[in-house]
Structure 1
Amino acid sequence: MLRIAACGSIGLGSALLIAALLLSTYTSSRIARIPLDIDTTLVSDGSGTAIDSASLSEQHIVTNKNVPLVSQQQVTVESPANAVVVTLQVGTSVRRTDRQKDSGLLLAIVDTVTLNRETAMSVSDDAHTGGAVQKPRGFNDESPPTAIPLRHEGLSYRFPFHTEKKSYPYFDPIAQKPFDANYEGEEDVNGLTTYRFTQNIGYSADGKLVAPVKYPSLYASEDDSKVTAPAAMWGLPGDPMEQITMTRYYAAQRSFWVDPVSGTIVKETEHANHYFARDALKPELTMADYEVTSTEETVESQVNAARDERDRLALWSRVLPITFTATGLIALIGGGVLASFSLRTESALIDPGLDRADDDLYRGGAAEPVPGAEAETEKLPTQRPDLAPESSPPGSDPPQLGSAEPPRDSEPPDSSPPAGSSPPERS
């Protein structure tokens, strides 16, 4: 039984050590992947200058300053989503909170992108665009949405696991191309250490408009990127009926606070500017110029999601490997001890002298035994006491010592001499 227990303990310890090695090398890399159950709503609020959509049907377009705005992103997982890739569908909208229903909607876009679950990079090539955007529809349009293939490159809506302190290409679905997100430093967000990245699209680092992007139209006729209207509609001096064509431009600045372990964006600020102009660097009519920041509820939710991802990674990459290693070493040592006891027990059963020699070893060496203390003694038979002290009569055999037969009861012999005889002579 000791031998079986020793083999079992050694086998268990070896298995635990192998499992710890696999967890720390192979399994942890399989765990560090974008989850497939993402379903969240990210909300940012702020203020800015925005167009009054009701004035579009009038003779002069009106813009309002310091209006309250809210930006909302609805993120869900779509097909294909498997062990290698995940597809995110993100619906983004910006609306004025001082207007009701559709009258307050300023911007809306539905973006779909397929990401590598490990690197968070878009999966695209010459044959596969890796994403799409929905073609804009009118408020009363009941037709199904139409997806326009759009090639995505770089990161989208997430950063990779174990984010590094470097620049990453981050895709902008409005500009339809990636721009660098540059590492700026570490900051604490609700007790979580994060990396802050900044992205400039058309702006310089100090917020100056330097190279705005011409708005890429989603229509073949470019109806949403170039607009021709009377000068009075644009609010320009001169002939009010003169037809003026203006081009729509876009520029933005973003800051991301990223959990470096899971790549989750826990907080975001965005300054976006949509405007019409004849000269790219001279805005003439602002459509929406706003700055929004993630709400406290959104930040708390994202921080909790990042902590959950951290705990999951720590469980499989540190806690379980360390636990399995410690338990495996204990099992191996225990198996070695049991094996030693098994050999000693077997030796004692085969040759008791070997076990006695081991006992002498544990007593500190082979000491010379004390005379008589440990010597084997010989048991002597006990003599029966003489129960008949008188001498036996002449001619009879003396009693045998140790005889088991008891003496028979008899008449004592007559010791007087016969009549007429003389006493015997004393020799």
Structure 2
Amino acid sequence: MKRAALALLAFLGVACIVAAIAIPTYLVPKLKVVPLDLDITSVASTVSADGDAGDRFPATIFDRCSLTKSKAATLDANLTQQRRSVIVDPSDKNQATLQSGQTVQIDRVRDSSGKERDLTMASSDADRKCDDALLNATVDRVSVNRETSAPNGNVSELQVEPIPEGGTVEEASVKLEDRKGFQYKFGFDVQKRDYYYYDTTTRQDATAKFVEEKTIDGVKTYHFVADVPETDLSNLPDPQGDASLGTMLDMPAKWWGIKGRGVKPNDVITMHRYAKATRNVYVEPTTGTIIYGEEDQEQYFKSPDDSADSPAAVRDFRMDALKGRFKWSDATVSQQADRAQGYLNQLRWGGTIVPIILGVLGVLLLLAWALLVWFGRKRGGEPTDDGLAGEPTPDGDGGSEAATPEEQTTVIPGPVAAPYGQYAADDTTVLPATPDESSTQAIPAYDPLTSPMDTSQTEAFSAPADGFGPIPQSDEQPSGYPYPYADPTRPMPDVEQYRQDPDDEEHPGRHER
């Protein structure tokens, strides 16, 4: 039993050490992948550039209703950007496909006269009016390598229109070719260097440059800044291959409000919609989780013709279509910080704490095993099935060697006194040990009533034939003598014939007469 306990002790010690090595080298890398249950929701609202929290209208948007009026107009607004990213098919052990739906909603506006109003959003199956609260909506789908979090090119498309009745997602989407940058999550083990960051508005990769380290909600982050260069949005086609709606406008100069040399009020001026942005992302470096985001978006109408042949009034014209600073809400930051901290705890337990605990436990178990074996050998030998070496045996012998079959004998002493004489002190019967306890023969104790010597070969002790019975017990008669006889003077037998003769091989139990 103790041998089995020692073996179990050694096995557990080795198993703990093996697990301490295997967990950080095999299990932890399995944790460093994009989870297939990823579900990220972020909310960002516009804030003023100077950080004035009391500004209720920190953004500017183009008044779409002014398209039917005599002059273009803009509105002061408060905007909210919502984005939810989830895992969809095709996803497997090697890749994860993220689907990210994003909307920009107009909460309230204020016109040039100072009139304020709240806007509402129509249902998805209803016709939208020019003052609908939905400013923009897209659905981005991209498949990424689960280990690197970088796009793998299998799925990369942007849905910019509602799915037509009876149509498919592909019919409402455009392909995004040569996509390289991160967007919803960075890779693991982020370094202090430049990375690509993908911008879906301009459909291009921008370089995100490392700026600084910063702690946000107790989580260390790396701050990256990506400057998205000015891009003509009319060059980004819709699913039909045409310029997207609202990216090109042909309106009279007076509608645009353009006045100047070489420009007539009714001259049709073509303006394109341009976009540029500056994005600030704060990334937890170990897991690549984006903790906080802030971006300055700017979209505006201007003339695509900046040549010297174009009137200066046209070349210098700018009108805001969307301008605002979007900042993640406190709730979103807290949620992302908790998410990153959860990932960090898993990696910390799997990569550091659990291996240390298992390693220490394994060493202690092996040390205990070694000490028990050493003490056992020191006390007398190898452990046996019945106990450690050197343990006292039932007869008190602590020797390490088992007795040989010749030594395992049973010695039965001869009787101290026989009825008719004394046996020698060394007259003993030695029985050899047998392998099976059940095969031994018991030697009965000497009984004067049943001994053959009393009944078959000795007439002195047989009952008299004349019918005399036992003599009654008396005070002179010693007690304990079982059968006194009427005639004790009868001749006694020759007891010498019953003495043992150890040298007689044919009759070892008697002398020759």
TM normalised by structure 1 equals 0.74
Quick one: which amino acid aligns to residue 121 of structure 2? K
Aligned pair 1:231/2:242, yes or no? Answer: no
Alignment partner, residue 113 of structure 1: 142
- Quote the Cα distance in structure 2 between the aligned partners of 1:333 and 1:177: 61
- Once the two structures are TM-superposed, the CA of residue 69 in structure 1 deviates from its matched residue by 1.3
CA RMSD, Structure 1 to Structure 2 (Å) = 2.5
Alignment of 1:258-269 (within 5 A): 258-269=283-294
User: 313, 317, 335: which is aligned to 2:351?
Assistant: 317
| Aligned-partner Cα distance in 1 for 2:165–2:222 | 43
Q: Distance in 2 between matches of 1:68 and 1:253?
A: 19
Match of 1:101 among 117, 121, 131: 121
Rate the CA distance shift 1:93–1:175 in 2: closer, same or farther, 3 A.
same
Alignment of 1:156-175 (within 5 A): 156-175=183-202
Aligned to 1:32: 32
Judged with a 3 Å threshold, the aligned counterparts in structure 2 of structure 1 residues 295 and 223 are, in CA distance, closer, same or farther, namely: closer
Structure 1 residue aligned with 2:175, among 142, 149, 165? 149
Residue 335 of structure 1 pairs with residue 369 of structure 2: yes
Q: Which residue of 2 is the match for residue 4 of structure 1?
A: 4
Partner of 1:76: 86
Q: What is the identity, as a one-letter code, of the residue corresponding to 2:68?
A: S
Q: Output the CA distance in 2 between the equivalents of 1:197 and 1:292.
A: 16
Count matched residues. 342
Aligned AA (1:82) = D
Q: Does 1:179 align with 2:206?
A: yes
Query: Residues 38 and 54 from structure 1, CA distance in 2 versus in 1: closer, same or farther, beyond 3 angstroms?
Result: same
Q: How far apart in 2 are the matches of 1:354 and 1:86?
A: 69
- CA offset at residue 22 of structure 1? 0.9
Q: Which amino acid aligns with 2:344?
A: R
SS at match of 1:60: coil
Q: Which residue is equivalent to 2:236?
A: 217
- Distance change in 2, residues 1:136/1:346 (3 Å): same
Indicate if the aligned counterparts of 1:120 and 1:156 stay in contact, CA closer than 8 A. no
Tell me which of 52, 57, 81 is aligned to 2:68.
Answer: 57
What SS class does the counterpart of residue 292 from structure 1 fall into? strand
Partner of 2:16: 16
What pairs with 1:190-201 in structure 2 (closer than 5 Å)? 190-201=217-228
The CA deviation at 1:95 is 2.3
Residue identity matched to 2:282 = W
Q: Contact 1:110–1:134 (CA<8 Å) still a contact in 2?
A: yes
Match of 1:48 among 54, 59, 69: 59
Q: 1:346 aligns with which of 389, 395, 414?
A: 389
- Equivalent residue in structure 2 for 1:253, among 278, 301, 312: 278
1:268-312 per-residue CA deviation (whole Å, 9 max, x = no partner) reads 001011111115795622110111100111111111111111111
Return the offset for 1:232. 3.0
Q: 2:337 corresponds to which letter in structure 1?
A: V
Q: Name the structure where helix makes up a greater proportion of residues.
A: 1
3-state DSSP of counterpart to 2:348? helix
Give the Cα–Cα distance (whole angstroms) in 2 for the partners of residues 83 and 57 of structure 1: 53
User: CA-to-partner distance for each residue in 1:239-274, whole Å, 9 max, x for gaps?
Assistant: 333211112211000101111121111110010111
**8 Å CA contact 1:20, 1:322 repeated in 2:** yes
Q: Distance in 1 between matches of 2:244 and 2:175?
A: 19
Paired AA for residue 83 in structure 2: Q
Cα shift at 1:346:
2.1
Extract unaligned runs of 5+ from structure 1.
Answer: 203-211, 356-407, 409-427
Q: Is the 8 A contact 2:392 2:398 kept in 1?
A: no
Structure-2-length-normalised TM-score: 0.62
Q: Once structures 1 and 2 are overlaid, which stretch shifts more, 301-310 or 334-343?
A: 334-343
CA-to-partner distance for each residue in 1:97-124, whole Å, 9 max, x for gaps? 1122152322222111111122111112
Query: In structure 2, how many angstroms separate the alpha carbons of the residues matched to 1:137 and 1:232?
Result: 34
Number of the residue aligned with 2:302: 277
Question: Following the alignment from structure 2 to structure 1, what is the Cα–Cα distance between the partners of residues 208 and 43?
Answer: 21
How many angstroms does 1:63 deviate by?
A: 0.5
State the structure with bigger RCO (CA 8 A, min sep 6), 1 or 2: 1
Q: Is the 8 A contact 1:122 1:156 kept in 2?
A: no
How far the C-alpha of 1:144 sits from its partner, in A, is: 5.1
Q: How far apart are residue 342 of structure 1 and its match?
A: 4.0
1:235 and 1:144, CA in 2 relative to 1: closer, same or farther beyond 3 A? farther
Partners of 2:319 and 2:146 lie apart in 1 by 42
Q: Give the equivalent residue in structure 1 for 2:453.
A: none
- Alpha-carbon distance in structure 2 between the residues aligned to 1:24 and 1:64: 56
**Aligned partners of 2:92 and 2:317: how far apart in 1?**
46
Report the CA distance between 1:56 and its aligned residue. Answer: 2.4
C-alpha distance in 2 between matches for 1:133 and 1:273: 20
CA distance in 1, matches of 2:23, 2:152: 28
